[in-house]
């Protein structure tokens, strides 16, 4: 009945409130579920050890403490054998010895250990001591080649099956896997066999050989490396990994060891079910018949994390990377991760050319054949190449200790992936740098690539909140991965600890952006994030693109600006004047709104890419239902805070966190160099100055007069026509965009705090 008593606008507002109530209710239910899961995990982890046994086959009735290293028959042999095989190993790290104890005791195990934490030793040492063969399922050629090379250097009989192996070599490996004798054969039995998940999923001859090995009681262990690849909720899902569910069915008595550097609670449960593992049990009180769980602290004190504001110009952004490397790590080994194959090739050429040969770089991606990959990998290991510019196809399992830096030229698709990729640095324990060059526009480009990925946007939001956060990087990782050690104290060496950024209350600016977006969207506007920020800042004469948009019923929605053709005009008077932020910081605020449900994404597929636009999100009405004066008076029920970059005039600036460590000399040098880059420049810089002068001209009046708008229409039209090329996700024709599948509701997955979120407020997979 109430609907008949309200105007259309009132009904729309009521519907918006109802939607917000439903969203809040869903969020509360999710928080309650997360609370129950957390209580259960704490209870499980704190189970006291009782009735400890000595040693045995893992099938005894009492619980076992695998950290009690003197209780096992092999206890005295582990470290001496490890030292003889790998002279660099002087002692065990983290829980390596306990993991070896559980493996030699015949238990299923799950090992979550940071990149560089020593996961490889956890299966290689038991493989050497055990009778029979250990099958290692590893996802990448570079990983298999690297590990096989190290084992052979250590005198361990090791083989690798890949497309780089000849037919004759493959036949010989399969024969030895079966254990079939050969006249005059003096080769040792294979102790470790590396294969890819694709080969396990599709090669009948390999499965037949492994079946023969199992029948002869020679298959002693199966190791699934990078186990997070099994789960679609993981950051690097591979369909063939899901086929590994047949391992337990084919060889039910063979213990399985699952290894990963990033395995959140949800992904862990998914992996457990796919691999047919039993419930998790803590290694200090391991119950019989269950899977022994090991987790080492994620934080590595020698890794110094930082985020650098990336220049919007591609040439100047490349120069930033070159200057950073030459200033801090000239002639050192490093990795530069790029978003696409084309990006990796371009970055490699830029590093070599802009440094005038001082940086020797090469590229690595999935399009290269196996021989080329191995050649590049070997040249990098030997020091002939300083830097490998690569996609994520390079790096998993790389064991080169002297990597002094890992640069991400663009954000990763998830925080899980970023932690793993950055962990390639400093594996020798020496100080190393992990740097992200970040600008919001890169995130939108990635959003177009992950539209078909399960939880793709939720994972990307975790990366955005990391990049824009003002909190300690160690704490951010710890909260996201629910690592209690990581949240205990600050690291003192990341950029946010050394020099806490300025944090601004941008609630008013957020209201302006959201109100402008609502008005233009209601009129049929289709805006990229950059379009929205430009219009709200008073640029482009307020012009924006208008399209026909269908309603839920399939009818075309009418728009008030229909007579204006495909262009609408917005007046900043409607939002109380221009948004008084720089271009970069306006985009930072807008990106924060996108990753925290104030705004949402809208997609449009083209022949080569998926373009990403913005629209009001489920929380938008929390602000836009208020007028500007009430927001300025502080009556909004949510305060939005964002760490701003560079010079600006925030509404209410404050320092983030407690007093930081003394200013780092290198940090000052880098900031000074970036500043000089912005002040200098050539012809391309002159173009940017001309645009800034035009922006300053607009800034002299609160709102441009209609006549002034007409005088500037030609310039605005030119800018407007070029914006899609600059801001849309569609520059590279080699993007691999999945158009199948659905992007699930982001609101039901993440937190909705109005404050600048840290990854603790996000789903940790």
Q: How far apart are CA 214 and CA 172, in angstroms?
A: 18
Phi-psi region of 331 (alpha: psi -120 to 50; beta: other; left: phi over 0): left
Mind telling me the catalytic residues?
119
Ordered alpha helix ranges (H), 5-74: 8-45
Q: How far apart are CA 481 and CA 113, in angstroms?
A: 12
One DSSP character per residue, 191-253 reads SEEEE-HHHHHH-HHHHHHHHHHHHTT-EEEEEESSGGGG-TTSTT--HHHHGGGHHHHHSTT
CB < 8 Å & 24+ apart, contacts of 490-495: 490/657, 490/658, 491/299, 491/301, 491/305, 492/661, 493/301, 493/304, 493/661, 494/304, 494/305, 494/306, 495/305, 495/306, 495/307, 495/667
Phi then psi dihedrals of residue 571, to 5 deg: -105, 130
Contact criterion met (CB below 8 Å) for 697 and 354: no
Q: How far apart are CA 544 and CA 301, in angstroms?
A: 48
Stated as kind and residue range, the H or E segment containing 632 is helix 628-632
Coil/strand/helix, residue 525 = strand
Q: How far apart are CA 138 and CA 227, in angstroms?
A: 9
* Sheet strands (E) in 480-573: 502-505, 543-545, 567-569
HSE-CB at 522 with a 13 A cutoff on CA atoms is 10
Nearest Cα neighbor of 763 from 591, 593, 595 is 595
Coil/strand/helix, residue 455 = coil
Structure tokens, 34: 């997360």
Buried b (16+ CB within 10 A) or exposed e, 393-408: bbbbbbbbeebbbbbb
HSE-CB at 708 with a 13 A cutoff on CA atoms is 16
Structure tokens, 83: 């030292």
Q: How far apart are CA 161 and CA 572, in angstroms?
A: 64
Sheet with 256-260: strands ordered across: 158-160, 192-195, 133-137, 219-224, 256-260, 109-112, 291-295, 280-282
DSSP label at 64?
B
Coil/strand/helix, residue 563 = helix
């Amino acid at each position: 009945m109430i609907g008949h008593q309200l105007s259309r606008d009132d009904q729309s507002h009521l519907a918006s409130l109802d939607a917000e109530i439903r969203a809040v209710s869903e969020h509360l239910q999710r928080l309650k579920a997360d609370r129950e899961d957390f209580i259960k995990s704490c209870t499980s982890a704190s189970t006291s050890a009782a009735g400890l046994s000595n040693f045995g086959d893992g099938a005894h009735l009492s619980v076992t403490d695998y950290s009690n290293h003197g209780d096992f028959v092999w206890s005295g042999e582990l470290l001496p054998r490890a030292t003889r095989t790998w002279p660099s190993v002087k002692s065990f790290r983290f829980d390596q010895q306990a993991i070896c104890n559980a493996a030699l005791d015949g238990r299923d195990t799950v090992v979550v250990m940071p990149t560089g934490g020593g996961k490889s030793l956890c299966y290689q040492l038991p493989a050497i001591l055990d009778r029979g063969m250990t099958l290692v399922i590893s996802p990448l050629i570079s990983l298999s080649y690297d590990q096989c090379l190290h084992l052979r250097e250590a005198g361990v009989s090791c083989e690798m099956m890949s497309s780089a192996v000849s037919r004759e070599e493959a036949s010989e490996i399969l024969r030895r896997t079966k254990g079939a004798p050969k006249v005059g054969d003096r080769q040792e039995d294979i102790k470790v066999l590396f294969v890819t998940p694709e080969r396990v999923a599709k090669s009948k001859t390999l499965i037949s050989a492994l079946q023969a090995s199992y029948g002869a009681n020679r298959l002693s262990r199966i190791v699934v490396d990078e186990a997070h690849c099994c789960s679609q909720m993981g950051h690097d899902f591979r369909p063939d990994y899901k086929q590994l569910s047949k391992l337990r069915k084919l060889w039910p008595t063979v213990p399985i060891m699952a290894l990963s550097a990033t395995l959140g609670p949800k992904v862990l449960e998914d992996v457990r079910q796919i691999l047919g593992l039993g419930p998790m049990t803590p290694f200090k009180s391991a119950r019989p018949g269950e899977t022994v769980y090991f987790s080492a602290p994620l934080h590595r004190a020698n890794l110094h994390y930082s985020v650098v504001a990336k220049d919007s110009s591609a040439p100047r952004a490349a120069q930033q990377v070159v200057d950073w490397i030459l200033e801090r790590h000239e002639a050192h080994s490093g990795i530069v991760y790029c978003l696409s194959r084309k990006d990796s090739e371009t970055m490699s050429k830029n590093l070599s050319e802009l440094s005038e040969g001082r940086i020797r770089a090469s590229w690595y991606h999935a399009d290269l054949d196996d021989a080329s990959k191995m050649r590049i990998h070997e040249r990098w290991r030997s020091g002939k190449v300083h830097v490998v510019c690569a996609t994520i196809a390079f790096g998993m399992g790389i064991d080169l200790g002297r990597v002094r830096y890992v640069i991400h030229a663009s954000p990763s698709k998830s925080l899980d992936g970023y932690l793993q990729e950055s962990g390639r640095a400093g594996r020798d324990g020496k100080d190393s740098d992990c740097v992200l060059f970040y600008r919001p526009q890169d995130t939108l480009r990635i959003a177009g690539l992950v539209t078909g990925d399960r939880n793709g946007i939720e994972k990307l939001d975790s990366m955005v909140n990391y990049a824009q956060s003002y909190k300690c990087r160690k704490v951010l990782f710890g909260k996201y991965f629910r690592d209690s050690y990581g949240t205990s104290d600050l690291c003192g060496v990341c950029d946010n600890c050394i020099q806490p950024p300025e944090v601004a209350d941008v609630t008013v600016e957020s209201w302006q952006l959201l109100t402008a977006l609502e008005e233009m969207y209601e009129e049929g506007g289709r805006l990229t994030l950059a379009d929205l920020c430009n219009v709200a800042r008073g640029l482009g004469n307020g012009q924006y693109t208008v399209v026909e948009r269908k309603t839920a019923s399939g009818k075309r929605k009418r728009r008030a600006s229909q007579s204006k053709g495909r262009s609408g005009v917005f007046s900043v008077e409607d939002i109380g004047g221009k948004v008084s932020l720089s271009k970069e910081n306006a985009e930072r605020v807008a990106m924060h709104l996108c990753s925290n449900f104030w705004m949402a994404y809208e997609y449009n597929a083209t022949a080569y890419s998926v373009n990403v636009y913005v629209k009001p999100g489920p929380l938008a009405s929390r602000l836009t239902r208020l007028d500007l004066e009430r927001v300025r008076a502080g009556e909004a029920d949510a305060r939005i805070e964002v760490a701003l970059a560079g010079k600006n005039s925030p509404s209410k600036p404050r320092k983030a966190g407690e007093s930081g460590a003394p200013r780092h000399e290198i940090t000052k040098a880098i900031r000074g160099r970036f500043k000089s880059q912005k002040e200098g420049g050539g012809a391309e810089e002159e173009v940017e100055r001309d645009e800034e002068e035009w922006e300053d001209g607009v800034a002299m009046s609160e709102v441009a007069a209609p006549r002034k708008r007409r005088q500037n229409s030609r310039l605005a039209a030119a800018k407007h026509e070029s914006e899609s090329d600059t801001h849309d996700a569609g520059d590279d024709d080699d993007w691999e965009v999945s158009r199948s599948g659905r992007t699930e509701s982001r609101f039901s997955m993440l937190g909705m705090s109005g404050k600048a979120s840290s990854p603790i407020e996000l789903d940790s997979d």
